[in-house]
Amino acid sequence: MVSREVMVSNPKGLHARPATLLVRKAASFKSDIGLEYMGKKANIKSLIGILSLGVGSNSTVNVIANGDDEKLALEEIINLISSLEE
């Protein structure tokens, strides 16, 4: 299992469009990938799960990956979150 924190710099946070991009990216990996925010956890392969966290702009989230391709999954998800714009 690997994990790392990342800042959500998107001015609108993780709303529907960026959350959809995360779900699509996460679906390409075999590993289980989770997102933690303010004590709540969600499966990053679930759009409803991500949206239910209510992640706003300039928030720090923890990405956790566990599985065969966990390191690659973590890196790519972190890169995607870091590059999200409106």
CATH of the domain at 40: 3.30.1340.10
pLDDT tops 90 at residue 85:
no
Q: Choose, from 10, 15, 34, 63, the residue flagged as catalytic.
A: 15
Tell me what the pLDDT averaged over the chain comes to. Answer: 96
55 a catalytic residue: no
Print the domain residue range for 7: 2-83
Answer whether 8's CB lies under 8 Å from 81's CB: yes
Q: Provide the pLDDT for residue 50.
A: 98
Q: Provide the pLDDT for residue 86.
A: 62
The whole-number average pLDDT for the span 22-41 is 97
- What span, in angstroms and rounded, lies between the C-alpha atoms of 10 and 82? 8
- Look at the chain and report how many structural domains it folds into: 1
